[in-house]
Structure 1
Amino acid sequence: MTAPIHGGFTYDQMQDLLNRACTAVGLDATDAELMRGQTNAVIRLASEPVVVKIARNGTNLQEVHRTVRFVRWLMDLGFPTVPLYRPEAQPLVIDGHPVTLWTYLPQPRYPVPAGAIAKPLNVLHSLSQPPVALDPLNVCAAIRHSLDSITTLRQDELDFLNNRVGSLQQALTGVTYELESAVLQGDPQHGNALHDGERAVLCDWDSVAFGQPEWDLVTIEVHCRRFGYGTRHYNQFAEAYGWDVTQWPGYPVLRDLRELRMITTNASKATHEPAKLSEVQRRIDGLRCGDLGQRWNIL
């Protein structure tokens, strides 16, 4: 197989990187299975309960080092996170590709319910400052960065998205937060939490940042509403967390910014993953007509 898989690799490139990473830490890559391949190639080994995550060439190595140090800190605290496998050996760098290794946790067929995500997220938001410098959350800057890299949308669609982020950035100046600044997961949702026996653990710390917990909470609400989990799932989350972001006056602004971030991120990826384009354009059409209940397809 020579065609690129998601993540920008060809199969042969991915297999070579995997073999070399496994050799470096004494693991066997035979019969490994590609679990996910979007921004990163995420591969489950058959020989050991280990997941190997291979990042694109050009990924910021300093950020990967930060993520590893941060997760090691969480592990030392006993925080409910998917643990690194042999954290002292990480990250590996193979031909410019940062590689991290994680403990594989077998999963049932059903995702972690939103209510179960509340406890680890609440604990995260209560932690002290970590011994790792975290970037301050800046959603508007991230949206504009994605907009600058989009090559697949029509000009009228780009104009709409640019105007929308400008309006929301202005509206954000009038938002008064109620919760104290905290460590943020950055993208907490059903896909970034796993079952670990009877408890839920968080995973995928690439978006970890420092900022207002309201951002994490509105992400859960958006995922429940847009991806079919429904009001009951969100209400269980809000009750378990102890605070309902939808009852806060700043909710509409953060909701709209979170949804815009999700759209522009996927629009920027559509250059290399054209199958995403039709769903991105459908979401934009929904925003234009103010359809807050439009069901989104997972990309």
Structure 2
Amino acid sequence: MRPPDLRRAVEAARATASGLGLRVDDMRVVHDSDRVALRLLPCEVLARVAPAEQAADSAFEVEVARLLVGAGAPVGGLDPRAEPRVHVRNGFAVSLWTYYEPVGTEIAPDAYADVLTRHHTALRRISLDAPHVTDRVTTALREVTERAPELPSAEREFLIGTLHRLGAALDADRSRDQLLHGEPHSGNLLHTSQGPLLVDLGTCCHGPVEFDLAHAPEEVDAYCEGADRQLILRCRALNWALFSAWRWRADDRMPDRERLRVEGLERVRSALDRCEG
């Protein structure tokens, strides 16, 4: 967020938590992009704060978390001291989550695969109205076409063609579809004292499990029994194409965006070469 917006977001989080009787003497920024995650101290709450126009997205994430905790999924949950809902305050949507102190950075490939397997099992136990992976592709195509003025024309054509082709392939065969996390990359898998936990649940969508597996480090593939290896490769190419589409948006706030724009396109091409090799 821009500094003035971040200051207002911090105050919205502080006021929301304090209004619920939670003590807030200090806070630290855990993550800052289009929305911000704040660690509130000493109450040890993780406040996720988004612009108020994203309140529906925040409410969806809260509902996903509520259902998955009930289904026994390995996920980071909402703070039990607060009602499981989104609080709209001063132009921001605030949700309050349990803060988990990281206990390490490395999660072994077999443990990573186990978390995804247990998560997918829990997802099959719940019913949720969620978008399909191809809806994300449609959004990315719109971003590349309409909101990426700095994207060179040749790269724009390449990204549009890649998104169309890989998205159409997923749309043509939905026989393997189920609810997914949507983005279970290593940044969304925390190593905690309670074991590895998945967070950032608002990306939940329908699609083949291979789409989720393609977000994990490649070493995890060997521990995913029954997965279609070729489909994982295609989904990995699609993931990088989606990543690139977000980075070329005019209003993208990802740190080190210029480098990531170049790297993302290189990753797409490398992943496509492996699919065709």
With over 3 angstroms needed to count, the CA separation of the structure-2 counterparts of 1:28 and 1:123, relative to structure 1, is same
Residue 291 of structure 1, aligned match among 256, 267, 270: 270
Q: Match for 2:75 among 65, 81, 84?
A: 81
Is the 2:140–2:245 Cα contact (8 Å) retained in structure 1?
A: yes
Is 2:15 aligned against 1:20?
A: yes
Structure 1 residues 275 and 41, CA gap change in structure 2 (3 angstroms): same
Deviation sequence 1:57-94 (CA, Å, 0-9, x none): 421x2332222122111122232111100352421111
Q: Determine the structure 2 residue equivalent to 1:213.
A: 209
Aligned counterpart, 1:240: 223
Q: Alpha-carbon deviation of 1:239?
A: 4.0
Name the residue aligned to 1:253: 234
1:106 maps to 2:101: yes
| Structure 1 counterpart of 2:197 | 201
Query: What does 1:1-299 align with in structure 2 at a 5 Å threshold?
Result: 4-5=2-3, 10-59=5-54, 61-86=55-80, 88-127=83-122, 128=124, 130-138=126-134, 139-147=136-144, 148-172=146-170, 180-197=176-193, 199-220=195-216, 224=217, 234-235=218-219, 237-246=220-229, 248=230, 250-268=231-249, 271-272=252-253, 275-285=256-266, 287=268, 290-292=269-271
Q: 2:247 is paired with a residue of what secondary structure?
A: helix
Question: Hey, what's the Cα distance between the residues in 1 that align with 2:176 and 2:45?
Answer: 36
Structure whose residues are more often strand by fraction: 2
Q: Equivalent residue of 2:215, what SS?
A: helix
SS at 2:26's partner residue?
Answer: coil
Note the residue ranges of structure 1 that are not aligned, 5 or more in a row: 225-233, 295-299
Indicate the residue corresponding to 1:230 in structure 2: none
Q: Counterparts of 1:79 and 1:150 in 2: how far apart (Å)?
A: 37
Aligned 8 A contact 2:240 2:265 in 1: no
Question: How far did 1:44 drift?
Answer: 0.5
Q: Which amino acid aligns with 2:249?
A: S
Q: 1:36, CA displacement in angstroms? A: 0.9
Question: What SS class does the counterpart of residue 149 from structure 2 fall into?
Answer: coil
Tell me, yes or no, if the aligned pair for 2:45 and 2:98 is still in contact at 8 Å.
yes
CA contact (8 A) 2:150 2:250 kept: no
Bigger shift: residues 10-19 or 35-44: 10-19
- CA offset at residue 273 of structure 1? 5.2
Find the aligned partners of 2:244 and 2:89 in 1 and give their Cα distance: 32
Where in structure 2 are there 5+ consecutive unaligned residues? none
Within 2, Cα distance between the matches of 1:67 and 1:282?
A: 29
The Cα offsets for residues 200-235 of structure 1, whole Å up to 9 and x where unpaired, read as: 111110100122111111222xxx2xxxxxxxxx33
State the SS of the aligned residue for 1:210.
Answer: strand
Cα distance in 1 for residues equivalent to 2:194 and 2:62: 25
Instruction: Name the SS of the counterpart of 1:52 in structure 2.
Output: strand
Runs ≥4 residues deviating over 6 A: none
With normalisation by structure 1, the TM-score equals 0.78
For residues 210 and 6 of structure 2, what CA distance do their matches in structure 1 show? 40
The number of residue pairs the alignment matches comes to: 269
